[in-house]
């Protein structure tokens, strides 16, 4: 899930064809009901992990990650930088990948999925402009790292993962780490989760062929959505979609990216 170079003109032309194709494409019948694996509770105070013993080497590696990989590339939001420095990425990677937990790149987490490059996690979080009273939706829980970052910035976060073993392990991990404002669901994230809508911000952590209309519908007026869109890894672009107070949408093409495809219910 790392940023890549691509032909900008070709990418933009592709996006014009893809972005809202879902509005006219055949929409699958209603998804199976999502299963709640971890029930969070909204709180006026951001969630904080309980204090735990941690190797100083890991803290130093995390600090270096923030300094050299994230801040050096232009992420400036103090709250985002502080959260990236606080959340232990090594808790969200498989044991076999621990030595690379703070390296500059994505890592495999099983089932053909990855934990995103730290910079991309920080960049997507920053562009969402999450506020302490926000309710946020994440599509693609994966290991739970992105939702953990969001949970320390927002009032409440809902995260949906279609691959059940990943959803189950993420729910257990987040509960163990003391997060109380995260709800984890096993289900098809294309349809979002209407029960908790509308959302102040939505982030999709896998590449869709088009922007899912149900997610647009669940975005609150004044809300922001970050989503990678593209048919293949070589034509993906990260979009920022904003809905104004009247419900009008504005879409900006920010950077070329490479994400795993958005998995759908079969």
Which residues are catalytically annotated?
A: 116
Q: Which two tokens stand for residue 60?
A: 């130093």
Q: Is 224 within 8 Å of 241 (Cβ atoms)?
A: yes
- 3-class SS of residue 125: helix
CA 153 from chain centre, in angstroms, equals 13
Q: Is 182 within 8 Å of 116 (Cβ atoms)?
A: no
CB atoms within 10 A of CB 87: 20
Q: Which two tokens stand for residue 177?
A: 């780490």
Alpha-carbon torsion, ordered 9, 14, 18, 20, to 10 deg: 30
Q: Which two tokens stand for residue 35?
A: 């299963």
- 3-class SS of residue 161: strand
Measured CA to CA, the distance from residue 35 to residue 231 in angstroms comes to: 29
Measured CA to CA, the distance from residue 192 to residue 213 in angstroms comes to: 10
Does residue 129 come out as left (phi exceeding 0), alpha (psi in the -120 to 50 range) or beta?
left
Measured CA to CA, the distance from residue 241 to residue 155 in angstroms comes to: 21
């Amino acid at each position: 899930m790392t940023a890549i170079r691509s032909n900008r003109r070709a990418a933009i032309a592709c996006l014009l064809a893809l972005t809202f194709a879902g509005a006219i494409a055949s929409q699958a019948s209603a998804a199976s009901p999502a299963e709640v694996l971890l029930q969070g509770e909204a709180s006026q105070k951001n969630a904080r992990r309980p204090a735990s013993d941690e190797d100083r080497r890991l803290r130093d590696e995390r600090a270096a990650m923030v300094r050299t990989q994230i801040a050096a590339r232009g992420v400036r939001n103090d709250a985002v930088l502080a959260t990236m420095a606080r959340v232990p990425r090594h808790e969200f990677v498989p044991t076999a990948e621990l030595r690379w937990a703070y390296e500059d790149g994505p890592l495999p987490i099983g089932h053909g999925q990855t934990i995103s490059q730290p910079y991309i996690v920080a960049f997507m979080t920053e562009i969402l402009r999450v506020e302490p009273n926000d309710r946020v939706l994440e599509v693609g829980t994966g290991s739970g790292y992105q939702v953990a970052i969001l949970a320390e910035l927002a009032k409440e976060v809902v995260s949906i993962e279609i691959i059940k073993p990943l959803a189950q392990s993420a729910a257990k991990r987040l509960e163990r780490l003391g997060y109380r404002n995260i709800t984890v669901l096993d289900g098809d994230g294309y349809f979002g989760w209407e029960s908790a809508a509308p959302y102040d911000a939505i982030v999709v952590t896998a590449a869709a062929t088009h922007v899912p209309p149900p997610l647009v519908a669940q975005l609150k007026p004044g809300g922001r959505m970050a989503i990678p869109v593209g048919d293949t890894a070589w034509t993906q672009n990260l979009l920022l979609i904003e809905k104004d107070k009247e419900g009008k949408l504005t879409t900006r093409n920010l950077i070329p990216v490479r994400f795993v495809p958005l998995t759908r219910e079969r």
